[in-house]
């Protein structure tokens, strides 16, 4: 699974799952654009790790929830990398996975839902819209969107977050249907709780233990566990796969 000569844009790649995905692509010799929002130092650390892994990388700051910044991001990636082959939409609105202190439905405002929609569907929409002309020009490309196994198994009702991720699945499948004839594939990766990440830091140990006990593989996903499936869906190995959701949760969701 070699990505030599290919340019890969990973949004929200300064930490956690995005950083692991960036490093994994670099290990397969890709040129990786490491998008970040605020932490330039963390993004540069990911860039260094990518180069140490055998690929190349550069960091690009942008708030992908803003259409103009998403367009600038994609253009900067193409200007610096010369092309765009793979887009991984990993950025999302911050969310703490704490089942004991979650906000119940009756206390939620519509603004909370809207914030999650903007962070998940809005960000993917803006970046895909900017990337499409570059994919269309070469009649090929792969988009992988990060969702969640909560869309099929809402074991904890994180209402706004899970609703937004469910909408991102619908967005992805519609896009896959429309872009397939153009040679562009669109798929989703749906992890369960991934630990350690900034979001899962709020998940208390006893709940993590309960979740592991209910998981057939008896552990939680690590960021690196998510990276491999992303690379698979971006590669020619999945060349006849589009519009699918690949669950990466140790068997919690079986379909």
Catalytic residues: 161
**Residue carrying the six token digits 């269309």:** 136
**Among the listed residues 222, 169, 232, 164, the one whose alpha carbon sits nearest the alpha carbon of residue 17:** 222
The DSSP H or E segment spanning 46 is: helix 40-53
- Residue 190 has what DSSP assignment? E
CA distance to 48, 69, 197, 206, per residue, from 18 (Å): 15, 19, 10, 26
Q: What is each CA distance from 236 to 12, 119, 135, 141, in whole angstroms?
A: 24, 29, 15, 10
Per-residue buried b or exposed e for 152-167, using 16+ beta carbons within 10 Å of the residue's own CB:
bbeebebbbbbbbbbb
**Measured between alpha carbons, how far apart are the two ends of the chain, in Å?**
26
| β-strands 86-89, 245-248 pairing | unpaired
Beta-sheet strands, E only, within 42-117: 56-61, 86-89
CA angle 86, 188, 230 (to 5 degrees): 50
Can you read off the two tokens belonging to residue 148?
């969640």
Residue 166 in 3-state DSSP?
helix
């Amino acid at each position: 699974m070699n990505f030599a000569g290919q340019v890969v844009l990973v949004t929200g790649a300064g930490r956690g799952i995005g950083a692991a995905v960036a490093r994994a692509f670099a290990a397969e010799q890709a040129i990786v654009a490491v998008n970040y929002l605020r932490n330039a130092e963390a993004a540069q650390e990911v860039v260094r790790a990518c180069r140490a892994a055998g690929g190349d990388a550069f960091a690009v700051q942008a708030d992908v929830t803003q259409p103009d910044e998403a367009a600038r991001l994609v253009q900067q990636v193409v200007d610096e990398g010369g092309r765009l082959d793979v887009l991984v939409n990993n950025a999302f609105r911050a969310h703490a996975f704490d089942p004991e202190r979650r906000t119940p439905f009756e206390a939620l405002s519509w603004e909370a839902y809207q914030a999650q929609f903007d962070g998940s569907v809005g960000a993917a929409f803006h970046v895909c819209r900017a990337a499409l002309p570059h994919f269309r020009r070469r009649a090929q490309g792969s988009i992988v969107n990060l969702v969640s196994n909560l869309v099929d198994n809402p074991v904890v009702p994180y209402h706004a977050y899970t609703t937004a991720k469910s909408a991102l699945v619908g967005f992805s499948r519609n896009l896959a249907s429309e872009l397939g004839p153009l040679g562009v594939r669109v798929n989703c990766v749906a992890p369960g709780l991934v630990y350690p990440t900034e979001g899962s830091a709020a998940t208390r140990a006893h709940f993590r233990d309960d979740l592991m006990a209910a998981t057939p593989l008896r552990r939680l996903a690590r960021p690196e566990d998510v990276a491999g499936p992303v690379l698979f869906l971006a590669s020619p190995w999945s060349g006849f796969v589009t519009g699918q959701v690949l669950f990466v949760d140790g068997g919690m969701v079986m379909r």
